[in-house]
Structure 1
Amino acid sequence: MDRGQPSPQPAAAAPAAAGPSMIAPVRAVVRLRSRVRLLRRRRVLPPAAGPDSGPEAPRADPGQPRVFTFDGPAELASRPPRKKRRRSRVVLYPESLRKCRPRAERRSRAQRCLLLLVAIVGFQVLNAIENLDDNALRYDLDGLEKALQRAVFGQPAAVARIVALLRDYLATHVHGRPLLLALHGPSGVGKSHVGRLLARHFRAVLEDGALVLQYHARHHCPEPRAADDCREELARRVADVVARAEAEEKTPLLVLDDVELLPPALLDELHGLLQPQRAHRFHNAIYVLLSGAGGEEVTRFVLQNASRALALRADGAPAAAAQAEEELRARLSALLVREHPLWQAAAIVPFLLLDRRDVVSCFRDEMAGEGFFPEQARAELLAAQLSYYRVAGREFAVTGCKQVVATVNLL
């Protein structure tokens, strides 16, 4: 073999050496591409824009799930759609700062103020109730009721109504208008006696006789005296009493007897004292008017309803007593309002006729007061000397207990 000729082996060795160096990267690219395709199919990723995003690029199957599970397409179609849960935000507090509650968890200040207001109102209500009890206890109405029941005969309904009206009015010291009690009935049934008992009781409990005014029409304003002078004097005396009572924070009592004899000018003055335009001190007062006006109406009612009149006594039925008393008050009110508008604002208390046993009780009480032994037979003998209305087997005294004092004085 000639040494000058070239050897063929080195030329063939060059392509053999370059072959392995180019195949390895191509294989790596192919593996990466197949790996990306597999991942896109599993995760259903949108294909990236590139050479593979053509019409031949593989598309995601709409029937396949978007999230990988082990369920088949049929099971996925029958399963209800899953609800998206709203993740709550986690509140993170810095370790270096003070932790505070969120505003929604804090106790509202308005709630504390409301509890404080409820406590204050409850305390005020309890204090007001105690003050009402103290103001009513000052006048000893229980003692007054016992005294009236013991000393006034044959008028249980009238006594109960007077005490009830006084309890309601004296429950507080502040009033919007004065209390006007109008005691009506025939002569001798106990109206003036009740007025004297009320005056005596209020003088004792108020500890000041100047706060009780007793005005008698026949004594303080006789007929020869001018009505204008009587009106000025009455207005001045009432003003002095209410002014003194306001200074001492007490409720005065004004008793006017024989009101049916007062001239119209004095009735007008009394009506003016009850008006809300007057000063506030005039609103805190008790007026007791004793009048014989309407006595004939009371007598007629008792005689025409002798059986119902028994219901107004203590031994009658409460329902019948209330109905009979209401009817009698309505008759008296309609009669008195026609005479003067003063009676519109009055709480009318009718006094009924006294029967024979009530007159006997009057005689026994008067005999004991005069130092005589209250013998029942002697009291009945004295009571038989009086005149009576005889209706339905009952006897009602014509003059009541009017002549009891004069009769006992003759003993």
Structure 2
Amino acid sequence: MQLRRKHAVLLWILFCSGLAEALEPISTTIAVGAVGIGMGIGRYAACYFRECCQPDWISFNHTGLQLDLRRRLFGQHLASGIILKALDGFMNNDSPKKPLVLSLHGPTGTGKNFVSKIIAENLYKKGMNSHFVHVVIATLHFPHVSRIETYKTQLKQWIKGNVSSCARSMFIFDEMDKMPPGLMDSIKPYLDYYDKVDGVSYRKAVFIFLSNAGGQSIIETTLQFWKAGRDREEMELRDLEKTLSLSAFNDESSGLWRSSLIDKHLVDLFVPFLPLEHKHVVQCVLAEMEARGVELDRSTAEQVAEDLIYFSSEKIFSSKGCKTIVSKLDFYV
């Protein structure tokens, strides 16, 4: 690639040199300008066919994110509102003071991974396939607690290298509740209010933590609203945020146990994902049907939803949210 680029530049120089001689006594500055134009065209052409860290490939689609959260994410009014406002404020700020750090909490199957995908699709032209979207899975990438010091070094170098390549990088840390305690503190300087760390600015990066920690407290609070006859849409962030931050800080399995990221207030928002009711599971099934191009059939969707397991004595919430509906639907379609 580097050799071809040099050849291209050389051809432009030869061409422009000939052009300058043919047009004498016109100044040879024309040739110099032509070379500059040619190199600019070369860079533009390269980024036309290949993903680059430029607005053509990375741009925030507010309307798209808003519509996706409304149409594709069910039962999560709190998460939808928080995430939309957070991304809107951050991406429209040309000079943010720190990276955006979101910590998503809730029971399994409630949409945490799905939301990360939606965010990526509305930030990057290639979505989750973008070279600038990076996923870390605790049990896959950091399986041995005994190697934590090695992991710390590797994680810092990996993040630094990716942000050096593109300031608008996004990092998704899945299974935070299985992350070795203390590991995330190693990246504290990258999430802090520093202009640069070792010559690299991290202020335009996005960090998303996904965790089941605090899920039980979210379920209990949601159940209290239900028992009191209150609509779950009445729930506000203040009803859960403090509980979540305390759970993440005090739970030894949270990945953020006694973490300086919480102690120093570097996590911008703790985003609760509520347990899903039967009606939300039905919506998930209908959405999956639509995605498959299958004729929408509410009675089938109801059957699939009925097949799932619901927990608590009242059997209000799906124990796995919408996580298993894809395989369940296969039995009906």
With structure 1 as the length reference, what TM-score do the two structures score?
Answer: 0.58
Cα distance change on mapping 1:402 and 1:208 into 2, 3 Å: closer
Q: Do the aligned partners of 1:306 and 1:391 also contact (CA within 8 Å) in 2?
A: no
Matches within 5 A, 1:141-160: 141-160=62-81
Correspondence 1:333 to 2:245: yes
Q: Do the aligned partners of 1:178 and 1:274 also contact (CA within 8 Å) in 2?
A: yes
Correspondence 1:283 to 2:203: yes
Cα distance change on mapping 1:206 and 1:377 into 2, 3 Å: closer
- 2:112 matched residue in structure 1: 191
Correspondence 1:245 to 2:161: no
List gaps (5 residues or longer) in structure 1: 1-133, 314-319
Cα distance change on mapping 1:224 and 1:312 into 2, 3 Å: same
Q: Do the aligned partners of 1:155 and 1:351 also contact (CA within 8 Å) in 2?
A: yes
Correspondence 1:266 to 2:183: yes
Cα distance in 2 for residues equivalent to 1:174 and 1:208: 27
- 1:297 matched residue in structure 2: 217
With structure 2 as the length reference, what TM-score do the two structures score?
Answer: 0.71
Cα distance in 1 for residues equivalent to 2:128 and 2:245: 35
- 2:84 matched residue in structure 1: 163
Superposition RMSD on alpha carbons, in Å? 2.8
Cα distance in 1 for residues equivalent to 2:59 and 2:229: 35
Partner-residue secondary structure (3-state), 1:181: strand
Cα distance in 2 for residues equivalent to 1:185 and 1:214: 19
Matches within 5 A, 1:6-405: 138-204=59-125, 209-223=130-144, 226-246=147-167, 251-277=168-194, 278-279=196-197, 281-306=201-226, 311-313=231-233, 320-322=234-236, 325-338=237-250, 339=257, 340-343=259-262, 344-346=265-267, 347-389=269-311, 395-405=316-326
Task: State the shift of 1:187 in Å.
Answer: 0.8
Q: Report the identity percentage.
A: 25
Letter in 1 for 2:283: S
Cα distance in 2 for residues equivalent to 1:241 and 1:308: 49
Task: State the shift of 1:371 in Å.
Answer: 4.2
Task: State the shift of 1:308 in Å.
Answer: 6.4
Deviations along 1:209-240, whole A, 9 cap, x unmatched? 22221222222223488323332332222112
Which 10-residue stretch deviates more, 251-260 or 217-226? 217-226
Partner-residue secondary structure (3-state), 1:210: coil
Q: Which has the higher contact order (CA 8 A, sep 6+)?
A: 2
List gaps (5 residues or longer) in structure 2: 1-54, 251-256
Cα distance change on mapping 1:309 and 1:272 into 2, 3 Å: farther
Bigger radius of gyration, 1 or 2? 1
Task: State the shift of 1:268 in Å.
Answer: 1.4
Letter in 2 for 1:287: F
Q: Do the aligned partners of 1:184 and 1:348 also contact (CA within 8 Å) in 2?
A: yes
